[in-house]
Structure 1
Amino acid sequence: MPDQTIPAGTADAELSAEDAKLVTLARGARARVGATEGASVRDQDGRTYAAATVSLPSLKVTALQLAVASAVAAGATTIEAAAVATESTTLDGAGHDAVRDLADDAPIHVAAPDGILLGTVTE
């Protein structure tokens, strides 16, 4: 994962309350449907959007892509921050790119399914 700014294994309690909420929403989206990933984003107005990975024969969308798409569909023009709850130790490139389409420097917090923060991508 590029540019981790928070050491691996740090509890999400060290995040701001708003960013900790994003991790909680991502975990909930993931758990609700048993997906491999859940994600959430916060837009310029403070609204949050959560999503889980979609894997159908005709459609594959990462959780972070879907959370960004939901925000854009609701009128968001900027992403302030994002979070992904994943079984992977890396951030998927497609989700990263979707966030960067709306914000060059929004932090993307990557957490394990139990909420332990694995790192934060800032570029």
Structure 2
Amino acid sequence: MPDQTSPAGPAVPAAEGELTAEDAKLVTLARGARARVGAVEGAAVRDQDGRTYAAATVVLPSLAVTALQLAVASAVAAGATKLEAAAVVTEASTLDGAGHAAVRDLAADAPIHVAAPTGALLGTVTA
């Protein structure tokens, strides 16, 4: 589960079946983005119109972008001004601070669901 003292803010422990169908779709999209390129992380976000954007971590010699940063950037590039929710699929035990900050730039309270590569929900960051 995301670290309760990480820069990502407090995490709410996951309960089985806690995700709505729309949020479960975000986890599925994030898993697919991660698996498609064998990335460390995959992420997906949903904007104010219900459109979804998925991305995987990018690490190049001249550029490093987290999956969540890239998903948020894709949403903004398509015209999104607010996010309803986000999901990150990762092997890490914490949510990265840069991705968390990118989501918070568009939504102060959108849930960020953190899931294991299997899709099992580890926790939800709400702050």
Q: TM-score range by the shorter chain?
A: over 0.9
SS in 2 for 1:30: helix
What is the aligned counterpart of 1:100 among 104, 107, 112? 104
Unaligned 5+ segments in structure 1 are none
Aligned pairs, number: 120
The one-character-per-residue Cα deviations of 1:12-66 (angstroms, maximum 9, x if unpaired) are x430000000000000000000000000000000000000000000000000000
Q: Counterpart of 1:4 in structure 2: which amino acid? A: A
Q: TM-score, normalised by structure 2?
A: 0.91
Q: Which residue of 1 aligns with 2:20?
A: 16
Indicate the percent of aligned positions where both proteins have the same amino acid. 79
What is the aligned counterpart of 2:11 among 4, 12, 20? 4
Q: TM-score, normalised by structure 1?
A: 0.94
For 2:22 and 2:52, how far apart are their aligned partners in 1? 10
SS in 2 for 1:14: coil
Matched, 1:83 2:90: no
SS in 2 for 1:5: strand
Unaligned 5+ segments in structure 2 are 4-8
The one-character-per-residue Cα deviations of 1:83-120 (angstroms, maximum 9, x if unpaired) are 00001010000000000000000000000000011100
Q: Counterpart of 1:5 in structure 2: which amino acid? A: V
What is the aligned counterpart of 2:71 among 63, 67, 70? 67
SS in 2 for 1:106: coil
Q: Counterpart of 1:23 in structure 2: which amino acid? A: V
Q: Counterpart of 2:10 in structure 1: which amino acid? A: D
Q: CA deviation at 1:5?
A: 1.7
